Amino acid sequence: MFLWRVSTVLRLLKSIIACVRLHLEAILQDGILGYIMRRFLRSAMIVFSWFVVPYSRYTNIKVIRRKLPPIRSHLLEIPAVDLAKLIRNRKIKSEEVVEAYIERCRQVNPLINAIVQDRFEEALEEAREIDNVIAMGINSVESMEEHTPLLGIPVTVKESIAVKGMTNQAGRVFKTPQIAKADAPVVEQIKRCGGIILLVSNTPELCLLWETYNNVTGQTKNPYDLKRTPGGSSGGEAALLASGASLLGLTSDIGGSSRLPAMFSGIWGHKPTPYAVSFRGHHPTSDFPKWGDFFTIAPMTRYAKDLPLLLKCMSDPTGPKLTLDKEISANGIRFFFMDNDGPSGMMRPLSRDLHAAINRVASDFNAKRVNIRKMKWSLDISLSAMLTMKNIETIYHKTEEGEQPKTVCKETVKYFFGCSDSILPSVIFGHLQNFMKIIPNSRHKHLASIIEALKTEFKELLGTDGVFLYPTFPNTAHQHYQIYHKLLEPMYMAIFNTLGLPVTNCMIGLDRRNLPMGIQVVANPGQDHLCLAVAREMERRYGGWVRPPSEDSHSHAQSSSKRG
């Protein structure tokens, strides 16, 4: 008994020494300031969870467990590449396609609340005009394919992207509705390629949250489970695409705003190489010279095979040239992977299902496990780079004509007394910017040097024929508002905005709750075609988009269980 007690005490001492050693190493590597910030932020997330989780569960009590209406039109399940070909060859009419999508929008939007404003009548008129032009045979099929590859295809757009004549206030409350006076350049290009704009979709206020709700349109819900979020900030687009109510979507991405909704909704979202797509005509924006290094307008699709088509139509003629027509096999690509952020301990580990799925994908593609130790700085370098940018449009930056500018302290007090028109992230963004100002410049310079070192490491690792597989987020779609105690985890995505690398979220199956799982595929700048080639191969291997649960499938399951 005595020896057993001594052995137990020695094991305990050994564990304590190992723990102390680990923390001392962290202090030596990160510096005292970095260490304190990391511990503080992780502890803050734990404390937030004590309040956020009960609140989330309470608000979900009111949500009725309903399923979406079933998809009945076969037109809704044809990829855009094939649908455009059918329209060009007069096999089907654009009007039929647009009508089918309008009907689907009207079926699902009362449940998912993703549409801010529609232009259904105008879209139908444009579809009829297109059908008439095709019927007249003015242009050859080959000419239409080359010059108007989206001819007759409906497209939906995130409300923060300007569509002429449509609301364009990014979820902000204004006394006078803010209407876009002109199309964003990327919208102009989509129209020039023959696309028909159907509607603008919901986003959190100023796209400042990885969940989609605001005080204008309300909260958007996940089609796979209405008690869960589709993510943000492009949650409206993701919910429509996953519901079968959209086929192609224009979104934006600065910290995973396209990729997280794509993962949570089981579809495909790509963050292009910086400046490959024009970022003009978006709210929020900035005149900061390097804004385009981090922010981009991005394609989102229900089918991976449609990503190259949409990205090609979106690409800025004056930006970097992408080789999207280049045929490449996944067999000719080198694969590398990590399933965590290295030794930082900042981000949560993956859920059991996601860990198994990502490691299965890595095995299927013969990916080599690597340990990029500087990935542990993802949080530090991303916050430093993004929150020190100047003149970003916020609730404190742009106000309505005749109104006094808002102040951080006054707006914070108004928020906690329930008198603010804004949501919490918009209010506290000013505090975060002020906090960054008190951090020594030497710290920011040190973090900037780590960014450059990481860029070099990825450049040498991936070259022009390699991709890096990395988690999109550590769990599948959570219940509404629970992002507030997971605010560190989006750094799995934001790191690639900071590094300026193209990256695609790919759908890799459903977890045990039948919620979509995703993985990021990263390449070097200008190598977007590698990400998209891998996405198409993953769609082939793992099946891609899966219909969300519907009333029919629910009834069928109940009747089957009764028969059993």
Sign of the torsion formed by the C-alpha atoms of 174, 393, 200 and 418? negative
DSSP-derived letter for residue 299 is: E
CA 259 to CA 270: how far, in whole Å? 7
Residues 262 and 238: beta-carbon distance below 8 Å: yes
- Is the distance from CB of 90 to CB of 135 less than 8 angstroms? yes
Kindly report the backbone phi and psi dihedral angles of residue 342, in degrees, each rounded to the nearest multiple of 5, phi listed first: 85, -155
Q: Which of 535, 451, 460 is nearest to 496 (CA)?
A: 451
Q: CA 202, 204, 207, 211: dihedral to nearest 10 degrees?
A: -100
Alpha helices, DSSP H, located in 61-151: 80-88, 94-112, 120-136, 141-147
| Amino acid identity for residue 296 in this structure | T
Query: Exposed, middle or buried, 518 (CB in 10 Å: 0-12/13-18/19+)?
Result: buried
Interatomic CA distance for residues 189 and 180, integer angstroms: 16
User: If you write DSSP's letter for every residue of 449-460 in order, what string do you get?
Assistant: HHHHHHHHHHHH
Active-site residue flag, 158: yes
Write the DSSP string, 337-366.
E-SS--TT--SPPPPHHHHHHHHHHHHHTT
Catalytic residue among 160, 252, 257, 550: 257
Please give the C-alpha separations between residue 206 and each of 118, 157, 166, 455, 544, in angstroms, as whole numbers: 20, 15, 17, 29, 30
- b/e map 201-216, b = 16+ CB within 10 Å: bbbbbbbbbbbbbbeb
DSSP, res 482: G
Q: Which tokens in the block code for residue 319? A: 């930006």
The residue from 94, 160, 201, 233 that is catalytic is 233
Residue 140 annotated as catalytic:
no
Local structure of residue 373 (DSSP, 8 states): G
Q: Which two tokens stand for residue 278?
A: 């024009």
How many residues in the chain?
Answer: 564
Q: Catalytic pick from 67, 93, 158, 221?
A: 158
236 vs 201: CA distance, rounded Å: 5
The answer to whether 67 is a known catalytic residue is: no
Residue type (1 letter), 98: V
Q: Report phi then psi at 519, rounded to 5.
A: -145, 150
Catalytic residues: 158, 233, 257
